[in-house]
Structure 1
Amino acid sequence: MDEKTQVASLSVISNTFLTLAKVVIGLANGSVSILSEGIHSGIDLVASFIALFAVRESGKPADTRHAYGHGKIENVSGTIEAVLIFVAAIMIIFEAIQKVYNIIEGEGGHVGDLGLGMVIMGVSAIMNLIVSTRLMKVAKLTDSVALEADALHLRTDVYTSLGVFSGLLLIKLTGWAILDPIIALGVALMILKASFDLTKEAFSPLVDVSLPDEEREIIAEVLLVHADEFVEFHKLRTRKAGAERHVDLHLVVAKYTSVVDVHELCDMIEQEINEKLHGTHILIHAEPCSSRDTACPAEEGLASSCQGCEIRNPKQEP
């Protein structure tokens, strides 16, 4: 079992325990804020199973049906998780509004054993902080969208659990039961924010958004190191699928450069980009310099005979 699968399994185990504990205690003492946290953890449990499936499938090599690999499974997973979080938030808002109405009507205003509820909220915050920190660390190391989404879920749980803990403490001190659904509404708003952020993070690669500026700068730096060996490059395109990056570009070389020399140059560029951006698949289309190009070397040989050739901005993708 690789590290990604191990931490995804850890998330499943922790969410199973917390979901059961919160739902049981929430039902026992009638606290809608604890129940809302139980619903949130239940959604996180489903999301953890999805993340576990995604990291297993995305690690499979390319095959005849998926020639570009299975990386986008992680992005699909993250998008589904974002939708699940949104559904959980709507459910919590509905329950909280219903509880406020009942309290105003003089019904359902009692909250039971606050001490036990505070204990489970404290335990939840600590457990989720530990697991989410571990998930995020592995997500950054492996560039896993699925694990990052799961980590964001649990990090949100940390904040909401602390919020519910504080609210239960205030109810214990003041006796104001209406604070319980108000806190639940606050929890729901935080969950909605997490859903929006996660949707943006996971969905963008599904529509082939370009790599971020800092990564395109890295590609440009590698190309500029070899600037005296070619005339120019253009039509640079980049995209991402899960942890995999895909880059393609046109490389203009001196007209009489040998195929062997061009091949070795392309191999060197691809290798250096991959060393700086792991998991990058690069496709370089080499083309001869046109005699109509004033920067094109007039004599046979490598493009090193071309001094001061213009290198186009790598950020200007079509």
Structure 2
Amino acid sequence: MDVREALAKKIAWISVISNIVLTFGKIIIGWLGHSDAVFADGIHSAADVFASLIVLLVIKIANKPADKEHPYGHGKAEVIVSGIIGILLFLVAIYVVYEGISGFFHKIEAPSYLAMWVAVFSFFAKIFLYRSSLNVAEKHSSKAIEAIAYDHKADIVASIAAAIGVLISIIGIKFNIHFLLFGDKVASIFVAYLIYRIAKDMLTEAFDILLERNIDGETLQEYISIISEFPEVRRIDRIRAREHGHYILVDLRISIDHFKTIKEGHDLSHEIKQKLLDKFDNIKEVLIHLNPYFPKDR
């Protein structure tokens, strides 16, 4: 097991254990404490548990080396998982909205202070989990761990929103301000909106990668700058690069002088490829096609 896989599993297990604790705490106290917002946050945490378990199952697959059936590797397994988590969060958002709206048509009971403090505790716990997960995801270019980090990010705002909603409802009860009683219900709907936003971002990125969208122009320009350092490259005819999970595949067409030998072209291709691999840790493969260059092509 390499370092990347070990870290991914460690982050996933930490996420599973912490979310199990938070799930039971928020669902039970949200239910007993009459807080739709905290209960909804607990449902979201339950979805996080499921998401983390999926990540644990797929990490080993994503890190498998390329084989005959999968010559470009298995990196997209992480992207598929990211998409599944996005769909799961989207469904959670729909459920939370339904529960929040239906709460307006039932008798409102005052949420407890305990429900508020559970949400506050969840807020601080999720800040720690988000930062630690995101650091690992960025360091190792892991879409699966990044998905877990975004889950934690959604929980950060959701938890503080739930706490504020509960507090507003408590104030409404204490001072007999009727419209404030709906604070908890409104907070639960706001939580759903936050979950939806995270789900949308995750699904958009997953579909972009699965449909092999070109990487951003700034990164492509960095590749072009390095390739242009080779005087033998008379022209860059085309460059494309796509994410394949936690790594990038680059397709390059360049023109070199027509009188260059096959060996010279091969050696140049090898040098360009090696320089890109040395410069960018997340590039796994560089495919280079050579075109003949004639002076009249200028």
Q: Same fold (TM over 0.5)?
A: yes
Displacement after TM superposition at 1:184 (Å):
0.7
> 1:148-174 CA deviation, whole Å, 9 max, x = no partner?
121111111011100111122222222
1:145/1:202 contact within 8 Å kept: no
The question of 1:199 aligning with 2:199 is answered no
Aligned to 2:110: 111
| One of 159, 162, 165 as aligned partner of 1:161 | 159
Aligned to 1:182: 186
2:168/2:181 contact within 8 Å kept: no
Query: Which stretch shows the higher mean deviation, 237-246 or 166-175?
Result: 166-175
The question of 1:272 aligning with 2:275 is answered yes
Aligned to 1:62: 66
Aligned to 1:294: 296
Secondary structure, in 3 states, of the residue corresponding to 1:56?
A: helix
Aligned to 1:142: 140
Query: Which stretch shows the higher mean deviation, 211-220 or 172-181?
Result: 172-181
The question of 1:238 aligning with 2:241 is answered yes
- Write out aligned runs for 1:80-95 (5 A): 80-95=84-99
Aligned to 2:250: 247
1:100/1:178 contact within 8 Å kept: yes
Secondary structure, in 3 states, of the residue corresponding to 1:133?
A: helix
CA RMSD of the aligned region, Å? 1.6
> Following the alignment from structure 1 to structure 2, what is the Cα–Cα distance between the partners of residues 35 and 209?
38
> Following the alignment from structure 2 to structure 1, what is the Cα–Cα distance between the partners of residues 288 and 272?
9
> 1:101-145 CA deviation, whole Å, 9 max, x = no partner?
11xxxx2x1135x22112211111111111111111111111111
Consecutive unaligned residues in structure 1, runs of 5 or more: 296-309, 311-318
> Following the alignment from structure 1 to structure 2, what is the Cα–Cα distance between the partners of residues 149 and 133?
13
**Percent same amino acid among aligned pairs?**
28
- What is the TM-score normalised by the length of structure 1? 0.86
- What is the TM-score normalised by the length of structure 2? 0.91
> Following the alignment from structure 2 to structure 1, what is the Cα–Cα distance between the partners of residues 128 and 58?
22
Aligned to 2:289: 285
